[in-house]
Structure 1
Amino acid sequence: MANWSDPRMTAAQGAPATGVGRDGAVVDAGLRSYMLSVYNYMTSGVLLTGIVALLFAQSGMAAQILMGPGILKYLIMFAPLAFVMVMSFGINRISYGTLQLLFWSFATVMGLSMASIFLVFTGTSIATTFFAVAAAFAGLSLFGYTTKKDLSGMGTFLIMGVVGLLVAMLINLFVQSSVMQLAISAIGVLIFAGLTAYDTQRIKSLYFHVAGTDMMGKTVIMGALSLYLDFVNMFTFLLQFMGQRD
């Protein structure tokens, strides 16, 4: 982590107003560029996933693989988790170029995994849910970016909620309760809505620690991965909660 200076701290220490203005302008421009890069990666990843999912579903192979028996189905389902773990735990060891490749590979594999939604839900409900989530995501991320309130406490609570959600989903694999599935979907939407605001603030704060270092490019990709997961999970849970099935 590089040493950094918050312009507000500089002003409090009595630096000349003109210097503070220039420093603030540089920080603001750098932060905007940093966040724009994060959103560009995240948006491109979501679009790539959607395109791959649609093409895979239309090919007919998705129905054979994802809806039938065989180990390939489970490889496709769990491959995205493997990519996330490699990227998260290997960020300090792998190069920026490798991290980029892993991100695009992850988005592609996620597309293969998510092709099943086109086999289960109507195209209208998928499109409606997508645009609803996109609008909600934009508002929540804007809140996380602009709020002065520290969301770290909420983030800890929400991460614990994700763990509880995973446990509930595992239990429901055996129970197969439609009521429990409905509750899981509703709670999942709320948890990842909160995480969208929290992750946005965390990514913004991280900029001041990595600005000017060789970690900056990597944190852009990892920030995009976090927001991507928030968006996709919110979309998936809302689709399960409100989507119309074929």
Structure 2
Amino acid sequence: MQTIDKSRANGLARFTSLVYLYTGLGVAFWLLVANAIARNAALSKVVMSGMVSHPVIFSIVIMAVAFGFISMANAFATRSYFMTFISYVLFLTTFAVFGIPIFYAYSAQSITQALVVTSVIFIVSSLFGYFTKKDLTTWSRTLLIGLISIIAVSIINLVFFKSSLLMLGINIAVIVVFLFYIAFDAQNIKRIYEQAQGSETLGAIALVASINLVLDFINVLLSLLSIFGNNN
């Protein structure tokens, strides 16, 4: 029994390490793609024009495509690491569109500072979620309601109010909600491993498990930049 428990603990540790490795690489790739597009004057002009002219429609289309690739990654996770990886890269590449404006709006120093602060927040929340004895699945409904509310208020503000003060409140709410999401997703790694252990595509499953953590990190980063960028 002790041998089985030790083997399971070692397997979980390796799986968790792989998930967080993919998370770090995913965030880095997202930033690199966003920066590369921002440096391409012709391509970035088209993207920024779409963001400014039709912000709601543009955002919905990009998110729909990105989440389509996430669905593909989930579908391939138990069958093919290669196709899961391709879907993952396509998701990050599509979602990188939302990172393009930060290379126009903020200095390199502000982006670096925001990355450091986000990393600290991410590590602390992850450690809490992973090691707490509390079952965080009870947060699921509340977090979903909070996320839907944020999206709804953001759309209303973009279309009608265009209020910078309301946008500040939205960004604060995003940071708070995703702090809890990071903890929730960190604990969820254990459940994913329990369901997937023994699978021949455990690497692909770890890749998919990192997607939510990548999204958590990016949302906190963008909100911190919006609030504190350029020493604002």
Superposition map of 1:198-213 within 5 A: 198-213=184-199
Normalised by the size of structure 1, how large is the TM-score? 0.83
User: Does the CA-based 8 Å contact 1:129-1:235 persist in structure 2?
Assistant: yes
Segment of structure 1 superposing worse, 201-210 or 223-232 = 201-210
Superposition map of 1:1-20 within 5 A: 20=1
Per-residue CA deviation, residues 99-145 of structure 1 (Å, 9 max, x unaligned), is 21010121122224311111112221111111100111011111111
Structure 1 stretches lacking a partner, 5+ long? 1-19
Match of 2:123 in 1: 138
SS in 2 for 1:171: helix
- The correspondence for 1:196, drawn from 170, 182, 204, is 182
User: Does the CA-based 8 Å contact 2:69-2:90 persist in structure 1?
Assistant: no
Match of 1:85 in 2: 68
Structure 2 stretches lacking a partner, 5+ long? none
Tell me whether 1:165 sits opposite 2:150 in the alignment: yes
- The correspondence for 1:225, drawn from 201, 211, 219, is 211
Aligned AA (2:154): M
Larger radius of gyration between Structure 1 and Structure 2:
1
Normalised by the size of structure 2, how large is the TM-score? 0.87
- The correspondence for 1:107, drawn from 73, 78, 92, is 92
CA displacement at 1:64 relative to structure 2: 1.5
Superposition map of 1:114-153 within 5 A: 114-153=99-138
* Cα distance in 1, alignment partners of residues 174 and 165 from structure 2: 14
* Cα distance in 2, alignment partners of residues 242 and 192 from structure 1: 17
Tell me whether 1:27 sits opposite 2:8 in the alignment: yes
Segment of structure 1 superposing worse, 191-200 or 206-215 = 206-215
User: Does the CA-based 8 Å contact 1:62-1:115 persist in structure 2?
Assistant: no
Structure 1 residues 208 and 240: CA distance shift in structure 2, 3 A:
same
User: Does the CA-based 8 Å contact 1:34-1:220 persist in structure 2?
Assistant: yes
SS in 2 for 1:149: coil
Aligned AA (1:82): V
CA displacement at 1:93 relative to structure 2: 5.8
Match of 2:173 in 1: 187
* Cα distance in 2, alignment partners of residues 193 and 106 from structure 1: 22
Structure 1 residues 215 and 162: CA distance shift in structure 2, 3 A:
farther
The alignment-based identity, stated in percent, is 24
Segment of structure 1 superposing worse, 209-218 or 133-142 = 209-218
Structure 1 residues 105 and 22: CA distance shift in structure 2, 3 A:
same
Tell me whether 1:45 sits opposite 2:30 in the alignment: no
CA displacement at 1:236 relative to structure 2: 0.9
Structure 1 residues 152 and 49: CA distance shift in structure 2, 3 A:
same
* Cα distance in 1, alignment partners of residues 106 and 61 from structure 2: 22
Aligned AA (2:141): T
SS in 2 for 1:68: helix
What is the root-mean-square deviation of aligned Cα atoms in Å? 2.6
CA displacement at 1:49 relative to structure 2: 1.0
